[in-house]
Amino acid sequence: MKITCISASNIEPARGQSASTKACEVLRDIIHTELGSDAEVEILPLIDYELLPCRMCGECIDSGTCTRDAAFRSVFSRIVGSDALFLVCPHYAPLPSKVMMLLEKMQEIWYLNWCRDKTYNAPYARCPIGLVGHGGQTLEALPYYKRALLDPLANAFASVQLQIASAGPDWPTGAVFAIQSLVPTADSIFVTITHDWNEIRRRLLPLAANVLAFTEKSGATS
């Protein structure tokens, strides 16, 4: 089984130390240790890919991908080649621009093909995706992260034939987590942020379990 976990953080100083990427690492550990799967889990940081916005040129209908964006082709090929996906998305304004560029191209590829053939299925159709939203506020912001991040992302990914995994009855579109505290740093424009990673792990566990359950139903093997 091949699982791709996309980290949508785009903070240059953080890179591999971003909360999004660390959450991907927690998901990978949950899958291997708590859920007992030997699935291959690749962490894909969007900060390493300079995606371009869609220009609606229409060339993707024949090529099946974006002909002018090598970064998108690399990310998209991993999506197509995966049995399951996760996307860990931070709150920016509210959605990171690279996530929007990824979605608009996936939507254009799907929509143009559907216009030509109403029976069209995307090459990743019915692949499960576990969505994780987070941001720079404490626990009181969790309902907001659901409304501003999880629900719009779930609608967008479902519209291009991905299956949205829940994190339990109260979180049907994914999981969210918050920060523990933030402290201004004298020698930097960035604050120091702490997280309760045990609590985050607890929140991510049911999501990871449901994503794996989707893959078992579809016949993927671990």
Confidence at residue 222, expressed as pLDDT on a 0 to 100 scale: 38
Asked if residue 221 has pLDDT above 50, the reply is: no
Confidence of residue 220 (pLDDT cuts 50, 70, 90): low
Domain of 16, CATH number, reads 3.40.50.360
**φ/ψ of residue 22, rounded to 5:** -65, -35
Distance CA 168, CA 154 (A): 15
Q: How much of the chain is in helix, strand and coil states, percent to nearest 5?
A: 45, 15, 40
* Confidence at 153, pLDDT banded by 50, 70, 90: very high
- For 21-65, write each residue's pLDDT tens digit: 999 999 999 999 999 999 999 999 999 999 999 999 999 999 999
Residue 10 has pLDDT above 60, yes or no: yes
Locus of tokens 């029976």: 119
Report the chain's terminal Cα–Cα distance, integer Å: 5
Is 90 exceeded by the pLDDT of residue 13?
no
- Give me the domain span that covers residue 45: 2-218
In angstroms, the Cα distances linking 192 to 11, 86, 185 are: 14, 26, 6
Using the predicted structure, report yes or no on whether residue 130 has a pLDDT greater than 70. yes
**For the residues 88-108, what does the mean pLDDT come to?**
96
pLDDT, average across residues 128-155: 96
Asked if omega into 90 is within 30° of 0 (cis), the reply is no
Number of structural domains (the chain) is 1
**Per-residue pLDDT at 12:** 82
- Does 109 have pLDDT greater than 60? yes
Residue whose tokens read 């671990």? 222
Query: Best-predicted range by mean pLDDT among 28-32, 61-65, 92-96, 187-191?
Result: 28-32
Q: Is the pLDDT of residue 163 over 90?
A: yes
Mean pLDDT of the chain: 94
Single-letter amino acid, residue 166: S
